[in-house]
Structure 1
């Protein structure tokens, strides 16, 4: 999916300056206990399914929208597992963002994992002990989702 219109409008005003945005991420498990990942088009890295909420969009439905848009998988929310701030990110076009990220544990409901938009070059299910190289934050979130109790983790 292309950059959302509201971000393009903001970029006309602030250029490449740092934007503070609401983000969501999903740790989606299938019945075999595998994790859904995508390989990003912009940097070639494997990641959890992530997205930017539209203005006024609720986090849960927004995350489920992102999962289906990016992977063709329909999921259901189980619970919030983590609330945190990402490090600032610089994209290849020099745009900079930092996200307040809400991370949910989710369960597969239907659909075959596939590349479903232009944000990914590959999508797949991975056994937790055979994950591709993930950034440390995403690896921590997978581990947290596996042992989550339904009480979200956040910095105090």
Structure 2
């Protein structure tokens, strides 16, 4: 995964100290309720499409961009489904980061699912009842995206 230039510039100033980052995640469901997943190159795990906002970028624009960059699928955002602060984590190089994650429900409008960058090993559509194992937080995002309640879940603890 290539580190954006603005992050490298910040790291020159703060070193490995904790960096607060705006994160975005997508639950992309097609008309058959198939789920779009990517197998990440950095850890080999299947996950929901995700990324970070670039400076000056709006969250909806950012998630649409990230989905396309990772999967070659063009999408439209349906709604915000979850807002939460993730626990701090450290990367192998010692960089510490904490994400404020906005999770969106989206649907595809064009494109065939395919690896479209160096961050993914595989991309595919999976039935909601038979998909690869995901992180428990991602399963919560999916559950939130499947509710009829248009209000996002605001995680409090």
Say whether the fold is shared (TM-score over 0.5).
Answer: yes
Q: 97-106 or 141-150: which moved more?
A: 141-150
Secondary structure at 1:93 match in 2? coil
1:90 is displaced (CA, Å) by 2.2
**Does the Cα contact within 8 Å between 2:38 and 2:124 map onto a contact in 1?**
yes
After superposition, the CA RMSD in angstroms is 1.2
Give the structure-1-normalised TM-score: 0.95
Alpha-carbon distance change, 5 to 32 in structure 1, aligned in 2, over 3 angstroms: same
- Residue 64 of structure 2 aligns to a residue in which SS? helix
CA 138–48 in structure 1, closer or farther in 2 if over 3 Å, else same:
same
Instruction: Count the aligned residue pairs.
Output: 156
Distance in 1 (alpha carbons) for counterparts of 2:63 and 2:97: 18
**How far off its partner does 1:148 sit?**
4.2
Find out whether 1:118 has 2:118 as its counterpart: yes
Distance across 2 between alignment mates of 1:94 and 1:43? 16
Structure 2 Cα separation of the partners of residues 68 and 148 of structure 1: 26
Partner of 2:109: 109
Q: Deviations over 1:111-153 (max 9, x none)?
A: 1111100111111111111121111000111111111421011
Q: Deviation of residue 92 (structure 1)?
A: 2.9
2:37–2:47 Cα contact (<8 Å) kept: yes
TM-score in terms of structure 2 length? 0.95
Question: What's the offset of the Cα at 1:18?
Answer: 1.5
Per-residue CA deviations over 1:67-112 (Å, capped at 9, x if unaligned) read 0011100000100001101122222333221110111100111111
Correspondence 1:1-150 to 2 at 5 A: 2-150=2-150
Counterparts of 2:15 and 2:133, CA distance in 1? 32
What SS does the corresponding residue of 1:145 show, helix, strand or coil? Answer: helix
CA separation in 2, counterparts of 1:148 and 1:37? Answer: 22
